[in-house]
Chain A
Amino acid sequence: MSPGGPRLSGKVALVTGAARGIGRATAVAFAREGADLMLVDIAADLPGVPYPLGSESQLAHTAELCRETGAAVRTARVDVRDLAAVETAVKETTARFGRLDVLVNNAGIAAPSGRAAHEIEEHEWQLMLDVDLSGAWRTIRAAGALMTARGAGSIINIASTAGLVGYRHFAGYVAAKHGLIGLTKAVALDYAPRRVRVNAICPGSVRDDPRVEGRMLAEIARALDVPVAEHEQTFVQAQPMNALVEPDDVATAALWLASDESRQVTGTVLTVDGGFSAR
């Protein structure tokens, strides 16, 4: 908590992909700073994604960690490919908390990947874009009117350094994340007159912190068929700060964008990548 009091005091945030990883770290950071939360996750495995996604138990655990800080928390199982489900979650948020101030579009998948562009099946391409790009648009579709009507709010899209540069054999993911940055900038202009801010965060390689049960890095390594330790080492060396990014590093960046401290910041891309994209 900062000296001036909780930084998100009285605010209500909706976080997608909240069961684990950056989603969990962000939810807990927000809760600690006084926000009440609607936490959503698919909480089920997705056919076509070659690794387990968040589970109900993990989502419940994130909620428990948030409640320990005194936050009021609701959870819902939401697939961001399903607009009706996303709309229901937003409605539930306002029904329970009366408002929605912060939207964190964090839900995303890293695989199926690991192949050249022409080797990707069409349904795989569609799946990647549907979750990682269109998923963020759907929550904006569901919450945008509400936020602009109130004339306040912060939308934070968790993109990736893959939204800034290419990565070999990750065409779908890179395209979706580049798209997400484009979406961020366009919506920022749409909503600027209504004082709703829209920003993107591009995390570099984030360590799979067991406390938040992250597994993105391990899954990317698996998609590339290299040992996790070797993959980590490669990225540590690629990031000039000589370290992997921690989920908390991303969460604190999101915290700043969510708070009024960043009130003049919109349409920006905040990289949290240990200097990776500086060279």
Chain B
Amino acid sequence: MTCHALALRVPASADPGPVLDAAVRGWWPELPDRWPVLWHDEVPARFAEHRLRAELHRPVTEGGPAFRAVLLRYEDGGAHLVLVAHHALLTPGVLQDIAHVLLGHRPATEVTVPLGCDKPPKGPHRPRIDWATGEEGAGDRTGVVTVPVPAGAPAAALVLARYEHRDPGDGLPAYATVLDEVGPVDPTFSHRLPFQSAPFPLTLVPRGTTVELHHQLRHIDEASARAFARHLTHVHAQLGHRPLAEIELIPHEEAERLLPPPAGIPRPAVPSRIDTAFDARADRHPDAPALTHDGTTTTYGALRERAERLAAGLRAAGVRPGDRVGVRLERGADLVATMLAVLKAGAAYVPMDPAHPEERLDRTARDADVRLVVRDTAPYLGAARTDRPRNRTPRDLTPKDPAYVIHTSGSTGRPKGVVVPHANVLALLDATREDFALTAADTWTFFHSAAFDFSVWEIWGALLTGARLVVVDHWVARSPEDFHALLVRESVTVLSQTPSAFGQLRAVDRGAKEGLSVRLVVLGGEALDTRPLLGWFDRHPEDRCRLVNMYGITETTVHVTAATVTRREALAASRSVGRPLPGWSVSARDERGRPLPTGAAGEIWVGGAGVALGYLGRPELTAERFVNDPYGPGRWYRSGDLGRLRADGSLEHLGRIDSQVKVRGYRIEPDEIRAVLLEDPVVTAAAVVLSGDAFEDAAGVRIDAYVVADGDTGDVRRRAARLLPDHMLPTTVTRVPVLPLTPNGKLDRDRLPAPEKPVSVPAPTGDLVTALTGVWEEILGVPVGPDDNFFELGGNSLYAIRVGTALRERGLPALSMRLLYTHPTVQALSLAMADE
């Protein structure tokens, strides 16, 4: 039985008693006469929270009140209103509405965390069950840390909620959970728990005067578990004394220690500009190949010469230092020469992809307030011929000048121009040159739109290390076959790709006869699913081709962290995006900017050498996102991404904070759904689309999945149902031959087909009870009552699988193993299955 709970802090000044009673009768007329306030006494806060915990596990019976309300009054005159409801009837959203009405439409001052209450199986049978998959035998090694925290469930739930960066109303995450009070240790068992290994990466078991932390060593090491235990006692000490919002996870002193160490920046001896660094290369090796396009190669010397003529032309056309110049050219030698020319003229370039719609380009030009837009180089070359220059970069230009303005389409709709100075790009190369062994012997591709900052990495990564840049035409970039042929033909060694585009390239590479010369693949621009990379490693062993996943943000100069991905990470389906680049720093912060401990999820803040100057012409937005550290020195960019730091200093990227959507009151993580789909062996690529409007009609929101798969989509959905909670299970799974990509190589949602028909139809509950009872009796060989526990009757995971098979044979809905373990009686299971 799953419940939802909501606790609202009522200010001391307001006495909600009469209001509450009257409001309830008016709003919820069918409630029974006896208003179900459970107790109304003044109780010490801790005791109340403990009682509340117990209350949550008492099922709200059918025919009884739809919800229970508890009013907890404290010595200071304040109170908590606690609502507990059976979720099939009342979602957390509805509970909030009820509370709103109960409190006379006064805004609640505070909403506290809910307490999850999925029950693990009880009884003598403790199958080794992996709770994430429902599989038997996947027992991970676990560690246990015990801390003395009397009645520790509320504190544990609170710490977990903070760690997971969850809003109230979401329920506790699948990543960790707090079990019901288990009671004292039974000496006849080595551990009196309903499982042999912790069912979740972190499982908290309150037990009288202590809380046990069971942690799967694969996910959480002992140091992190001990840190969690420290924070648990710290929070527990504050409970009842401070408002929840002010409760700290960690003491202020520890927070300061958590700040990343000052980044060891391998600054160049003399800070440089992009154009001067390029010129230095051209001076030393004027005849070295710089750029190849359509079989024609331009040398460094020739490229510089062309850039200088263009720079003179731009100056003649009125471009002055500090200006911005739109560059609206196809990928090619002219585009790169023009970018260089703009920099040489002391201006910043504003890339405008000719493939983008006219209106968007106009808006970009207006927003950037460009002096002029270069659509063709001929006019500027013409002007230069009359006035043959050997111009050098003027002396008053510095590495702190803006080099480019790239527009990112934020979630708010209107694109923002990110202003990035020369020094940041140089710092990016200083941070990677040695580790990636970038040399003049390399050949890079120029694959991405100039308006996508991945191309900043491609262009200047190649040209400032003396390497050769191979231009990938618009149409070649859209044909994985042609692109693969180009990689072979040009002996490309450094390849930068989005994971989506790389997935298509891998598919071609699998069937290709010619070998690649690629020695470094840089993946960026999207979250990476590592599991599908196993096939790539089979063809390209790690000692011959290194694969690096980089997490990046335009506002922090292309990249932030780098993680070398090996077979090990791919097998572990790692979510780590690696450690920050030398010179960059990363911190996880809560909503007040307080540093969070290792393992706690919060907003990713990025500091150091890559932080951009700000948004062009948007001072308020710049002040909001580019902030000074309230806890230490330095300027940081608040990314709006959710992440957590691991003990080894690497970052786990958990998606966008603002893209999280609620469906039927539950928070949905599309990335998590996608990751589960990709775990299916027949699925090679997957996308998840949320449709409908959560604000207009919460029930109308649906999740549609698209997969590139070698098998039946019904099976894919059934397997996903073993891993995903019902609210995250896609309504439809549609097979597509290939995922469509945007010009930037990211998933193009608009070009996905309409979803297929939903896969399964639930049967009525009454039939389910009969059917389930029949199946259980047949498999267990004993009579089964509606409240008999499957495991106490002798059921085990193998029988559970047989139950699933038998149900399928009778045309009944698919049964997830997880559901059976959380609802081990016929009564509870049938209700839960009817919800699905």
Contacts and interface: CB of A to CB of B under 8 A. Distances in A.
Contacts of A233: 801, 805
Interface string B779-813: 00000000000000000001001000100000000
21 contacts: A52-B538, A56-B538, A56-B541, A57-B537, A57-B542, A57-B567, A60-B541, A60-B543, A61-B567, A61-B568, A210-B571, A213-B534, A213-B571, A218-B681, A227-B715, A233-B801, A233-B805, A236-B798, A242-B798, A243-B137, A243-B798
B539 interface: yes
A57 B541 contact: yes
Contacts of B540: 57
A57 B538 contact: yes
Nearest to B537: A57
A121 to B, nearest CB: 24
A55 B798 contact: no
A213 B570 CA distance: 11
Which size bracket describes the interface of B in this complex?
10 to 19
B538, B567, B798 pick with most chain A CB within 10 angstroms? B538
Interface string A22-58: 0000000000000000000000000000001001111
A211 interface: yes
A60 B137 CA distance: 27
Nearest to B540: A57
Contacts of B681: 218
Nearest to A53: B538
Interface in B486-538: 534, 537-538
Given A210-B571, A246-B137, A58 B798 contact: no
A60 B542 contact: yes
A64 interface: yes
B509 to A, nearest CB: 14
Contacts of B715: 227
B779 to A, nearest CB: 13
Interface in A228-251: 233, 236, 242-243, 246
A228 to B, nearest CB: 8
Interface in A153-191: none
B104 to A, nearest CB: 56
Contacts of A61: 566-568, 571
Interface of B: 136-137, 534, 537-543, 566-568, 571, 681, 715, 798, 801, 805
Contacts of A227: 715
A78 B136 CA distance: 36
Interface residues of A, number: 18
A130 B460 CA distance: 54
Given A242-B798, A243-B137, A246-B137, A58 B568 contact: no
Contact of B571 (A52, A56, A211): A211
Nearest to B799: A242
A64 B569 CA distance: 13
B568 A64 contact: yes
A218 B534 CA distance: 17
A64 B543 CA distance: 13
Interface string A196-219: 000000000000001101000010
A64 B568 CA distance: 9
A66 B681 CA distance: 26
Given A64-B568, A211-B571, A243-B798, A55 B805 contact: no
B571 A55 contact: no
A52 B536 CA distance: 13
A55 B538 contact: yes
Nearest to B796: A242
Contacts of A52: 538
A7 B137 CA distance: 26
A176 B540 CA distance: 33
A242 B802 CA distance: 12
A246 B539 CA distance: 27
B139 to A, nearest CB: 11
Contacts of B541: 55-57, 60
Contacts of B137: 243, 246
B345 to A, nearest CB: 49
Given A236-B798, A243-B137, A58 B567 contact: yes
Contacts of A213: 534, 571
A55 B537 contact: yes
Contacts of B568: 61, 64
A166 B571 CA distance: 35
Given A57-B537, A213-B534, 18 more contacts: A52-B538, A55-B537, A55-B538, A55-B539, A55-B541, A56-B538, A57-B542, A58-B537, A58-B567, A60-B541, A60-B543, A61-B566, A210-B571, A211-B571, A233-B801, A236-B798, A242-B798, A243-B136
A77 B540 CA distance: 15
Nearest to B135: A207
Nearest to B566: A61
A236 B137 CA distance: 14
Contacts of A58: 537-538, 567
Nearest to A232: B801
Contacts of B542: 57, 60
A211 B130 CA distance: 15
A242 B800 CA distance: 13
Contacts of A218: 681
A227 B719 CA distance: 13
A19 to B, nearest CB: 9
